[in-house]
Structure 1
């Protein structure tokens, strides 16, 4: 397995979620690692949720990102009904695109079993065509976990910190039958095994541009 690195220097990151807690469940440990570098400026966009859930999302963004958080934008489209609001979702993303030109986008998978996630996943690459898109995974009843293409290894300390912060930020969710430390740590442990790390978060990448010397897109020398 060949390690790949994000570009050096300042990094603008855009996290897109259908629901409050999607971002932190899908890539919370990765955000903790990015925040630790102190070079990432992160924009979070959440498409649905009540006022209570938006407050939780704000608490989570502060806990996970601290000073790396550039902005949190929340909307109140109906949970589970985003496909019926296709035009509004597309307009929201296009509005964000007028302000944010990210180097890295963290977004749902295009084949996620949840219709809200799936819609966002399909629209992200129609709005942003020049950013690296890492598609996070969210465990759920549907059993749609797949075979990731990219991994972010994390230490046991960071993995446990993610789980602790999830419980702190989202008290409205802790009584759900699927929510729990064993689930979140267990998935990160499985993904860690797959990349020879203690723990890891896994992502799915549709396209990635690798440069092997020279300037990207330049004509080859004769």
Structure 2
């Protein structure tokens, strides 16, 4: 399997999530990998969530990528399709000064309405960036066949889960919040790309320079 590589030098990354913990679950390991780069700028935009949940996410993100810039819109959880205009305006405002080379966000076919709305919306706001659509396990059973992978070491995978557990106590009561779920998915994706662990992404469009 030939590996595709991100460009050397400074890299601007934008992560967009519908809820606090989406970015951390969907691409927390990838952020740990990216944090190893010498020149990295990470911006995170989260569209819903209470101040308490935003504080959880901020703490987790600062541990994954120290210095990450965070933006929380505070829109109602589970209602993004009916708040389309406000969500779009928030992202358009951000785009006026945030021009990333790489964007990490939800899948366009995610079963959750908030995730799906953002997955589509983000590609209409940032048209010139490489967009990797991450996956989030859920009871809907909507996992598909990803097109791209980012390999993780065992240490990175377990650190991601440790960060999730320490920074999101509000989510511990959910039956889907489980070390085996998070590690199991990363191990499965790792097997698929011959890595100890991995996070997987869907890419709808990519420019290949030869």
Regarding TM over 0.5, the answer is yes
Structure 1 residue runs without a partner (length 5+): 213-222
> In 1, distance between residues paired with 2:39 and 2:151?
19
Aligned match of 1:57: 57
Aligned match of 2:175: 177
> In 2, distance between residues paired with 1:109 and 1:49?
20
Q: Summarize deviations over 1:35-76 as a string: whole Å, max 9, x none.
A: 122321000000000111011011011111113x1x100011
Which of 97, 122, 132 is equivalent to 1:124?
Answer: 122
* Superposition misfits of 4+ residues, deviation over 2 angstroms: none
> In 1, distance between residues paired with 2:40 and 2:183?
25
Aligned length: 210
After TM superposition, the score normalised by the length of structure 1 is 0.93
SS of 1:168's equivalent? Answer: helix
Structure showing greater radius of gyration is: 1
Aligned match of 1:138: 136
After TM superposition, the score normalised by the length of structure 2 is 0.99
Q: Summarize deviations over 1:138-195 as a string: whole Å, max 9, x none.
A: 0001000000000000100100000000001111111211101100000000000100
Structure 2 residue runs without a partner (length 5+): none
> In 2, distance between residues paired with 1:127 and 1:33?
26
> In 1, distance between residues paired with 2:38 and 2:145?
31
Which of 205, 208, 211 is equivalent to 2:209?
Answer: 211
> In 1, distance between residues paired with 2:2 and 2:46?
33
